[in-house]
């Protein structure tokens, strides 16, 4: 095993080799934050974000925005897909303000704000169940109409939670996540060789993409620590046998970075032997 790296208070992740599995267009914020703390970052995108070719249903729904009381954004990806297409449909971001707007967390809220849309609701916990609770806290949803653009494959907790309270929910897939092209054999070899400290995982799709990329033997090895952004990602990782050692308390990139700093600050992080 390699000797324990020396760290400085300003660089608590010095000497740590950390894999970032986010889609290429989303990875920079996490990578910069880790590098600023001294880590060596290995960007290995395991997924790609692909807008669906046919967005007719979304266009129809937004053109008749008055038919909806709420629009709910559950990711930055959805924000970009929706807002980038508004001009070609003769719409503007301000047209979304005809509805109440909910965002699943601060990153999604910030993405909306960059388009000039201020969300009405951002829940304190950044999971679908918390969105439902936050929306309900603003008033009865019985009979209210909700538009939920989202990934093709996504948890149904949000629409089911709203429908259980009497809401009418239209779910419209607008993008899909697909495995990024690439050969994961080199990364798998590094993992099994004990030269990777952490693999960061920020969604269930990155978990599945990582396992597909490096293979189950490397993905379930105890030679690295899996760092996950929240409970949904953690559940997906554990289901596939990944060694989850680090879980963000605040389900954001900043929360994930803080969890890594805590983990190594508590003297953890020694690699296993198998």
3-state SS, 133-198, equals HHHHHCCCCCCCEEEEEEECCCCCHHHHHHHCCCCEEEEEEEEEEEECCCCCHHHHHHHHCCCCCE
Instruction: Answer for the pair 144, 67: CB distance below 8 angstroms, yes or no.
Output: no
Read off the pLDDT band of 117 (50, 70, 90): very high
Residue 266 has pLDDT above 80, yes or no: no
Q: Give the model confidence (pLDDT) of 49-89 as tens digits.
A: 899 999 999 999 998 867 899 999 999 899 999 999 999 99
% of the chain surpassing 90 pLDDT = 70
Residue 242 has pLDDT above 90, yes or no: yes
CA 151: distance to chain centroid? Answer: 12
CA–CA gap between residue 152 and residue 161 (Å, rounded): 18
Residue 231 has pLDDT above 80, yes or no: yes
pLDDT at site 27: 77
User: What pTM was estimated for this model as a whole?
Assistant: 0.78
CATH number at 17-46+180-265:
3.40.50.10090
pLDDT at site 6: 53
Region 95-106: mean pLDDT is 91
Region 184-193: mean pLDDT is 96
Same CATH topology for 17-46+180-265 and 50-177: the answer is yes
DSSP summary character for residue 251: S
DSSP summary character for residue 121: B
> What is the second-level CATH architecture of the domain 50-177?
3-Layer(aba) Sandwich (3.40)
Region 126-135: mean pLDDT is 88
DSSP summary character for residue 66: G
Residues in the chain: 274
Average pLDDT, the chain: 89
Read off the pLDDT band of 219 (50, 70, 90): very high
Region 155-163: mean pLDDT is 89
Local structure of 274: helix, strand or coil: coil
Residue 99 has pLDDT above 90, yes or no: yes
Q: What would the two tokens of residue 209 be?
A: 């993409």
Q: Give the model confidence (pLDDT) of 146-155 as tens digits.
A: 999 998 887 7
The domain locations on the chain are 17-46+180-265, 50-177
pLDDT at site 66: 77
Q: What would the two tokens of residue 272 be?
A: 């296993």
Residue 1 has pLDDT above 60, yes or no: no
Read off the pLDDT band of 5 (50, 70, 90): low
Residue 183 has pLDDT above 70, yes or no: yes
Residue 269 has pLDDT above 80, yes or no: no
Instruction: Answer for the pair 175, 51: CB distance below 8 angstroms, yes or no.
Output: yes
Q: What would the two tokens of residue 31 be?
A: 């990578």
Read off the pLDDT band of 161 (50, 70, 90): very high
Region 165-169: mean pLDDT is 96
Q: What would the two tokens of residue 204 be?
A: 């269930």
């Amino acid at each position: 095993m390699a000797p324990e790296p020396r760290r400085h208070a300003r660089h608590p992740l010095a000497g740590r080799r950390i894999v970032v599995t986010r889609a290429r267009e989303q990875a920079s914020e996490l990578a910069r934050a880790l590098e600023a703390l001294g880590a060596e970052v290995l960007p290995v995108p395991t997924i790609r974000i692909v807008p669906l070719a046919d967005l007719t249903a979304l266009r129809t729904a937004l053109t008749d925005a008055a038919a909806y009381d709420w629009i709910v954004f559950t990711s930055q990806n959805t924000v970009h897909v929706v807002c980038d297409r508004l001009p070609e449909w003769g719409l503007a971001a301000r047209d979304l303000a005809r509805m109440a707007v909910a965002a699943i967390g601060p990153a999604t809220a910030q993405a909306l704000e960059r388009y000039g849309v201020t969300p009405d609701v951002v829940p304190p916990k950044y999971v679908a169940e918390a969105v439902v609770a936050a929306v309900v806290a603003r008033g009865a949803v019985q009979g209210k109409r909700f538009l939920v653009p989202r990934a093709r494959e996504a948890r149904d907790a949000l629409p089911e939670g709203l429908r259980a309270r009497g809401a009418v929910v239209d779910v419209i897939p607008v993008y899909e996540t697909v495995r990024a092209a690439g050969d994961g054999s080199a990364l798998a070899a590094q993992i099994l060789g004990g030269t990777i400290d952490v693999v960061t995982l920020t969604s269930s799709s990155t978990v599945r993409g990582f396992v597909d990329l490096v293979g189950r033997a490397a993905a379930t090895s105890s030679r690295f620590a899996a760092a996950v952004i929240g409970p949904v990602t953690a559940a997906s990782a554990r289901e596939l046998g990944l060694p989850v050692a680090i879980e963000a308390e605040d389900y954001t990139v900043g929360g994930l970075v803080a969890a890594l700093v805590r983990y190594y600050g508590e003297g953890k992080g020694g690699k296993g032997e198998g």
